[in-house]
Structure 1
């Protein structure tokens, strides 16, 4: 019984599920030249895409051809914000639907991104069905457009919940085994190529509140913030080590962390994004820290990555229990108020392949 319990993580029943699939392709010069201009090319892609989506029951889909990375977030209102590098989509899967396209008139992008947002209830239970619908839509789009380009497909799923939910009075939980995506999909007759890549990781953020600044005032008195960031980094990595977590990152330079597999992407950064690459098949320690001693950020970002060996036969439940224990330890060190503050934990599962 104890063994069974240790392989499940008990997550509050008010946790939010989310899923989106990003498909990317590069239209060939030959394909683009068959149109009068790049705008008519994109218009045709969007028209054929949204027709196929309607037929296959996909109701929140966006075509993006401006070389900006789409980021999705939960919100009770639906809207899209653009920065220089990002497209930020806010939506509630239960209610919001849209078919929209985005590109800069007359400008050819490096690639076309198709963003499929899961809608409705029970997203985790229906994840394989949603993936099947997207696969069917992409296959039809290829035929209808007459293109032979390969799509890079990334399926992203995550659970989001407040680690302090019980303290705030929400005591109901559900026990998750957190099985990896490939066997979950295989059991539900969703075909994923054997040549695929999977990543599982956890993120959480801690805002730099007035209370935190007051508590660590003695570390913020110098002309730069090296002492403060070094203290946070040391406490975080020490807490990880105590729970035998060997792949993690601390980001406090104003950039948003993106987690990638080192076999596919290398660590890099731009003005808004910090790409973090990890070799999940390796057992050696991979700890990364990015902070700017001259800038006190509003939010501290933390990432914990599961190694391939953390995927037990029953799933990632044991790994997640260790992560939760580590976060609680860090929160106690920083004296975070469980009553007044939300500590939102996001458990991510990604699977990617070419089709």
Structure 2
């Protein structure tokens, strides 16, 4: 493979793209004192937020006052599913716009979080403009809401997702991605970021456990699945290690893995989320493995985190090519119905900072 080709990863043309930015601040007594009551606080704040957002061409805006974590995915229809800990937004960026307040009667949130879902058709090309518009929104909203000296946290989430087995389903055409680092992309498009930005890049892979997989990977009539899980983990770790991918995790306990930079954030798992912490500066940490010996998971989820050496001036193309090779090696050891099973690979790029 030529050097120039190594810097790109060729993914199916059906690859989906998402971007959303959250802006959060604590709901303090001082903030709340400016309103008649809790409900008025939420309604009046959200009204101002929507007005300012419209000014900066931010057309899909959600105000969250439930302390639930937003999760965003592509879908042809727009809807929101709520669990005890999550708000799952499904939408098509090319078609769907919304302004919505998510609150619970009588519940005082610890934080108010504003979530901006990217709209349009060229999300990656326009990601810097989208972020710059959110920055302009923050600058103006701080003069209109009683934020005073409250710390405002900005989180920018971008990901692309695709079915690793797309070719087996007849999707033959591909497109080359360099996958440049977010801060480099923004700098080239004159979207300025603070110096103390925390960035994290990683890949998740979700393998559903259907009947065919179950018969090979997991013994059906047993109450102890630990040996089977360890068998899968060993093969995954071997495949990634051979491609010089050392920051890996496997989660098979029914929880959604949340990847965080362990250098800056505390890691507290919950009933729905499995916190997975990596310091990108540590070259070869021990693999992180989470499962329940007596629980058969509906899906096994794998995580591969990029380190400082995995990015170059061109981007993460080489890193993704290594992952593609590792996944191919790993899955080739099992009999998988590639024409019907979707093995979803998702490349995440996150950055966060305070303003």
Same-fold status (TM-score > 0.5): yes
Matches within 5 A, 1:251-270: 251-270=251-270
Which SS does the other structure have where 1:315 is aligned?
coil
Which SS does the other structure have where 1:22 is aligned?
strand
Matches within 5 A, 1:59-208: 59-148=59-148, 149-208=150-209
Which SS does the other structure have where 2:169 is aligned?
coil
Which SS does the other structure have where 1:347 is aligned?
strand
- Answer yes or no: is the 8 Å Cα contact 2:18–2:72 preserved in 1: no
- Answer yes or no: is the 8 Å Cα contact 2:247–2:306 preserved in 1: yes
Which range moves more in the overlay, 294-303 or 159-168? 159-168
Q: CA deviation digits over 1:220-261, x for unaligned, max 9?
A: 443221121111111111111111111011001111001111
Which residue of structure 1 lines up, in the alignment, with residue 19 of structure 2?
19
Which residue of structure 2 lines up, in the alignment, with residue 341 of structure 1?
341
Consecutive unaligned residues in structure 2, runs of 5 or more: none
- Answer yes or no: is the 8 Å Cα contact 1:220–1:227 preserved in 2: no
CA distance in 1 between counterparts of 2:51 and 2:291 reads 46
Matches within 5 A, 1:265-344: 265-344=265-344
- Measured after TM superposition, the shift of residue 78 of structure 1 is 1.0
- Measured after TM superposition, the shift of residue 139 of structure 1 is 1.5
Over the aligned positions, Cα root-mean-square deviation in angstroms equals 1.3
Which SS does the other structure have where 1:268 is aligned?
coil
Consecutive unaligned residues in structure 1, runs of 5 or more: none
CA distance in 1 between counterparts of 2:177 and 2:246 reads 23
- Answer yes or no: is the 8 Å Cα contact 2:204–2:301 preserved in 1: yes
TM-score by length of 2: 0.96
Length, aligned pairs only: 354
- Answer yes or no: is the 8 Å Cα contact 1:266–1:275 preserved in 2: no
- Measured after TM superposition, the shift of residue 75 of structure 1 is 1.2
- Measured after TM superposition, the shift of residue 34 of structure 1 is 2.2
CA distance in 2 between counterparts of 1:236 and 1:140 reads 48
- Measured after TM superposition, the shift of residue 152 of structure 1 is 0.6
Which residue of structure 2 lines up, in the alignment, with residue 28 of structure 1?
28
Residues 231 and 220 of structure 1: CA distance in aligned 2, closer, same or farther (over 3 Å): farther
Q: CA deviation digits over 1:171-198, x for unaligned, max 9?
A: 2211111110111000001111111011
CA distance in 2 between counterparts of 1:142 and 1:197 reads 23
TM-score by length of 1: 0.96
